[in-house]
A and B are shown apart, each in its own frame.
Chain A
Amino acid sequence: SSWWSEVQMGPPDPILGVSEAYKRDTNPKKMNLGVGAYRDDQGKPYVLSCVRKAEAQIAAKKLDKEYLAIGGLGDFTKACAKLALGDNNEVIKSGRNITVQTISGTGSLRIGANFLSRFHTEARDVYLPKPSWGNHTPIFRDAGMQLKAYTYYDPKTCGFDFQGALNDISKIPEKSIIMLHACAHNPTGVDPRPEQWKEIANLVKKRNLLVFFDMAYQGFASGDIDRDAWAVRYFIEQGHNIVLSQSFAKNMGLYGERVGGFTVVCKDAEEAKRVESQLKILIRPIYSNPPMNGARIAATILNTPDLYKEWLGEVHGMANRIITMRELLVANLKKEGSTQNWQHVIDQIGMFCFTGLKPEQVARLTKEFSVYMTKDGRISMAGVTSGNVGYLAQGIHAVTK
């Protein structure tokens, strides 16, 4: 007998399951639109040129491999905060933020969840937009928080249900935590417009809610770093002391290097020091201190003017390719003779597109055309190329006409 006889087989991961099935398919025209990683127009992973240059620079320095501090590489965390909040942000100048290096976005959310669970004793509830990234719920739950939702996506318009969101937010109990996607909402690609963000910020202030921003796509959404961080910066300006998760998986293509940051905007520098000391206490029993490689690459890029410039250009390029694919997809659908309204494909932003396809249509698309995507109709635009967009349009038209 075994200690583990009662251990059940865990259910398969919904997103990974898609990739597994894709791998097994022998159809030469198959498409993997489940993957949440950028691909170039040949469908290949893309290592940014500024990343290769940064790696070469780092290799030449012959640095040691001594442990980082628990909070991570200082050059990285400072630059990470600046990137999100803006160079001349008053928060950074007054030292009232604490930014720690984390294991990409997931690690950041987890540390944040653990921190709030331990110290935000006024409320146990985290309000996620409906829908949200699939992993948000298990992360917060595992940290001991309770999950609730506020209306966000409107399936009738494939857009933002602004009134629905305001209605729900107005009823959230004070001091609860509200999760906001800073830009390129995952999975819908639907972002509020600036005027809508302003109203949300106002309402959130009235309700006295603690804001948790998840920013996994800065630069990747519109192609513009500052534009994508606008909501985060606006909220801070309006006096919200937010907590913020950042990921460099997508915008620097550093997926497997696990580069991220977690920031707490505090009342003042003294509070930031206390918060920092507690974050360290939370981090140490999980992994002691974070991995160096990716943080060094990111720091080198962010802190070297010509690499930074090159990076901005490459991020812009990736975002543009996505936007182009959106336009091409809609154009091809029209060419196929589709009479459906596909405007949302162009209006949505970032890596993902909520097509509006129903589960049966998705199933047909997969079975008859070998196009793999998640059941909710989400496709990763990153998996679309100028070479396969026509085929994709054919398939989508076939299952929706």
Chain B
Amino acid sequence: FVPGCFSVLVPQATPVAVFKLSNDFKEDPNPMKVNLGVGAYRTDEGQPWVLPVVKKVEKLIVADNRLNHEYLPILGLPEFRSSASKIALGEDSPAIQENRVGAVQCLGGTGALKMGAEFLRRWYNGNDNMKTPVYVSAPTWENHNSVFANAGFEDVRPYKYWDAEKRGLDLAGFLGDLETAPKHSIFVLHACAHNPTGTDPTHMEWTQVAEVMKRRKLFVFFDSAYQGFASGCLDKDAWAVRYFVTQGFEMFCAQSFSKNFGLYNERVGNLTIVARDADNVRRVLSQMEKIVRVTWSNPPSQGARLVAITLNTAELFAEWKDNVKTMADRVLLMRASLQAKLQALGTPGTWDHITQQIGMFSFTGLNPKQVEYMIKERSIYLMASGRINMCGLTTKNIDYVAKSIHETVVNVQ
């Protein structure tokens, strides 16, 4: 009898980069160290922030003796699903009024992407068609690739998006890839606050994207992880999603409430489905149930309850919007501050992209050697791509960071 059946077969996997970065930061003894790799909001004291409205609602939940820990339905808490979809599509969305919107409560934005991907692989463009190309932006959140590949898609490819030279959107490249993509290809679009570049198409650019996608029958799959967090305004941040709905698309929108509710570890997400009519929605949801059942059976209740209560109670909803604006405003302040300091220092290059970009992340334009210098010589941790999390900046460390960027750019090419 030979115990340990996996001795030869299980190789050590390389750790996910962003987590390794956090680990290295933790172990760095330098008191000046700054973590610009973290993907979560931080206050000006560099601390995590549990939203005041969340604290309030948590107390309500604890005090309510009618609540228990029973299973949610397979598709999740009904009040959560409908109010979450309303957030994305708008209260008066024609699609909602026409009863052609469905939703699946999922484990975070990742879970929503996963459910959507699994459904598409089984039911889109034929049955179990693994060959349908899935396009993700170049660059994109690295987990997009894994989610779709693990759902069985064999052809996950990049679409042109970031123009490194001009530090902005490569619209011509983007539109070009849309024009040449095989019909029915799936495109993962970032609803706002593109991760990692912070660069979003303008309204006009979105209309151009929509026109090609409609004409070429490409599938629209929005990833909306930062609604409210980007501009500070929920409706503004949902403009692209809502525009596509008015253009008559059947589409998916994966929503995350990790950042805009600060509910990271409660895993609160929603997959919003816009279809041609109620009957299609009904059939789609019945098949979604089958996928949910073999993955997690039913979703966790705590976070969904919290969000549902907040969204469905007028004063709490108002308070939440206010909390969201607080976070967005601090990020905007740090952007303006960093840009101004780099300008004042006379740091070579242009730094307007810092304030033009939007959301949590900024693609600084620092190259891998410069990034390595920042980490090794200055204990400032950022991704090899040059991506920084603006939330890692505070009024206390921004001078150090600005000076370090300056020194890096000047000394390292």
Judge whether A294 and B146 touch: CB under 8 Å: no
A140 to B: closest C-beta gap in Å: 9
Known: A4-B280, A7-B280, A285-B149. A256 touches B69 (CB 8 A): yes
Partner of B13, one of A5, A266, A277, A292: A277
Complex interface residues of chain A between 13 and 38 (CB less than 8 A to chain B): 13, 16, 37
B266-306 residues with Cβ-Cβ distance < 8 A to A are 266-267, 275-277, 280, 282-284, 286-287, 289-290, 293-303
B212 CB, min distance to chain A CBs, angstroms:
18
* Docked-complex contact B302 and A119, CB < 8 angstroms: no
A45 to B72 alpha-carbon distance, docked (Å) = 13
0/1 per residue, B253-273, Cβ < 8 Å to A? 000001000111111000000
Q: Which of A142, A205, A258, A267 contacts B7 (CB 8 A)?
A: A267
How far apart are B45's CB and chain A's nearest CB, in angstroms? 13
Task: Establish whether residues A256 and B282, one from each chain, have CB atoms under 8 Å apart when the complex forms.
Answer: no
- Inter-chain CA distance A99–B72, complex, in Å, is 26
How near does chain A come to B339, taking the closest CB pair, in angstroms? 28
Contact A106 B295 (CB under 8 A): yes
Q: Is A86 located at the chain interface by the 8 A CB criterion?
A: no
Residues of chain A within 8 A of B47, CB atoms compared:
64
Question: Which listed residue (B40, B107, B284, B301) contacts A256, Cβ 8 A?
Answer: B301
Chain B contacts with A in 325-350, Cβ cutoff 8 A? none
Cβ proximity bits A245-287 to B, threshold 8 Å, 1 near / 0 not: 0000100011111100000101110010111011011001111
Q: Which residues in A have their C-beta under 8 angstroms from that of B48?
A: 64-66
Cα A5 to Cα B250 with chains together (Å): 12
Interface residues of A in 334-374 (CB under 8 A from B): none
1/0 contact string of B138-179 vs chain A (CB within 8 Å): 000001001101110000000000000000000000000000
Q: Counting CB contacts under 8 A, is B97 at the interface?
A: no
For residue A290, which residue of chain B has the nearest CB? B267
Chain B residues whose CB sits within 8 angstroms of the CB of A106 once the complex forms: 293-297
Q: How many A-B residue pairs have CB under 8 A?
A: 226
- Given the known interface contacts A2-B277, A291-B300, the answer about A271 and B16 at a Cβ–Cβ threshold of 8 Å is no
Residues from 35 to 76 in B contacting A, C-beta threshold 8 Å: 39-40, 47-48, 50, 54, 58-59, 62, 68-72, 74
Least Cβ–Cβ distance between A215 and chain B, in angstroms: 16
Q: Which of B59, B72, B108 contacts A287 (CB 8 A)?
A: B108
* Cα-based distance from A254 to B3 in the complex (angstroms): 34
Size range of the interface on A? 35 or more
Contact check: which of A9, A67, A286, A290 meets B40 at CB < 8 Å?
A67
Which residues does chain B contribute within 8 Å of A292, judged by CB atoms?
265-266
Q: How far is the CB of A289 from chain B (nearest CB, A)?
A: 7
Question: Chain A residues near B9 (CB, 8 Å)?
Answer: 119-121
Q: Are A266 and B250 in contact (CB under 8 A)?
A: no
Min C-beta distance of A257 to chain B, whole Å: 6
What residues of chain A lie closer than 8 Å to B146, measured between beta carbons?
284-285
Query: How far, in angstroms, from A120 to B19 measured CA to CA in the complex?
Result: 28
What is the distance, in angstroms, from B273's C-beta to the closest C-beta of chain A?
A: 9
Which stretch from A51-59, A154-162, A226-234, A380-388 is at the chain B interface? A51-59
- Whether A104 is near chain B, meaning CB under 8 Å from some CB there, is yes
A94 to B388, CA, bound (A): 40
Q: Are B302 and A291 in contact (CB under 8 A)?
A: yes
Inter-subunit contact A293/B149 (CB<8 Å):
no
Q: Is A103 an interface residue (CB 8 A)?
A: yes
Task: Please name all residues of chain B whose beta carbon is closer than 8 Å to the beta carbon of A274 when the two chains form the complex.
Answer: 6, 10-13
User: Does A397 sit within 8 A of B, measured CB to CB?
Assistant: no
Are B123 and A291 in contact, CB atoms less than 8 angstroms apart? no
Q: Which residues of B contact A273 (CB under 8 A)?
A: 12
- The answer to whether the Cβ of A8 comes within 8 Å of any Cβ in the partner chain is yes
* A135, B15: Cα distance in complex, Å: 32
| Residues of the B chain whose Cβ atoms lie less than 8 Å from the Cβ of A119 | 6, 9-10
For residue B111, which residue of chain A has the nearest CB?
A287
B109, chain A: closest CB distance, angstroms: 8
Selected contact of A135 from candidates B12, B124, B293, B303, CB within 8 Å = B293
Q: List chain B residues, Cβ under 8 A from A64.
A: 47-48, 50
Most chain B CB within 10 A, of A3, A56, A70, A135, is at A3
User: Which residues of A from 97 to 152 have beta carbons under 8 Å from B?
Assistant: 103-107, 110, 119-122, 135, 138-139, 142
Tell me if B219 counts as interface (CB < 8 A to partner A).
Answer: yes
Given A4-B283, A287-B114, the answer on whether A268 and B4 have CB atoms closer than 8 Å is yes
Could you tell me if B147 and A240 are in contact, using CB atoms closer than 8 angstroms? no
From the candidates B1, B15, B106, B263, name the one contacting A205 in the complex (CB within 8 A).
B1
CB–CB A277/B12 < 8 A: yes
Q: Check A271–B219 contact: CB distance below 8 A.
A: no
Please pick, from B5, B286, B299, the residue contacting A241 in the complex, using a CB distance under 8 A.
B5
* Residue of chain B at shortest CB distance from A47: B68
Q: Does A239 contact B (CB under 8 A)?
A: yes
Least CB distance, A147 to chain B, in whole angstroms: 13
* Beta-carbon contact of A287 and B267 below 8 Å: yes
B322 to chain A, nearest CB (A): 19
A116 to B242, CA, bound (A): 42
Q: Are B300 and A256 in contact (CB under 8 A)?
A: yes
A-B CB contact pairs (8 Å), 19 listed: A8-B283, A64-B48, A65-B263, A70-B16, A105-B297, A175-B5, A208-B2, A241-B3, A256-B71, A258-B299, A277-B12, A286-B111, A287-B296, A288-B107, A288-B108, A290-B107, A291-B107, A291-B267, A292-B265
Known A120-B6, A138-B293, A291-B267; further 14 A-B contacts with Cβ < 8 A: A1-B276, A2-B276, A4-B250, A4-B275, A7-B283, A59-B58, A67-B258, A103-B107, A106-B294, A256-B72, A286-B107, A287-B267, A288-B110, A292-B265
8 closest Cβ pairs, A-B complex: A267-B4, A287-B107, A256-B301, A10-B286, A2-B276, A292-B265, A106-B297, A285-B146
Which residues of chain A have a CB within 8 Å of any CB of chain B?
Answer: 1-10, 13, 16, 37, 45, 47, 51, 55-56, 59, 62, 64-70, 103-107, 110, 119-122, 135, 138-139, 142, 175, 205, 208, 210, 239-241, 249, 253-258, 264, 266-268, 271, 273-275, 277-278, 280-281, 284-294
Interface residues of B (CB under 8 A from A): 1-7, 9-13, 15-16, 19, 39-40, 47-48, 50, 54, 58-59, 62, 68-72, 74, 106-108, 110-111, 114, 123-124, 127, 143, 146-147, 149-151, 219, 250, 258, 262-267, 275-277, 280, 282-284, 286-287, 289-290, 293-303
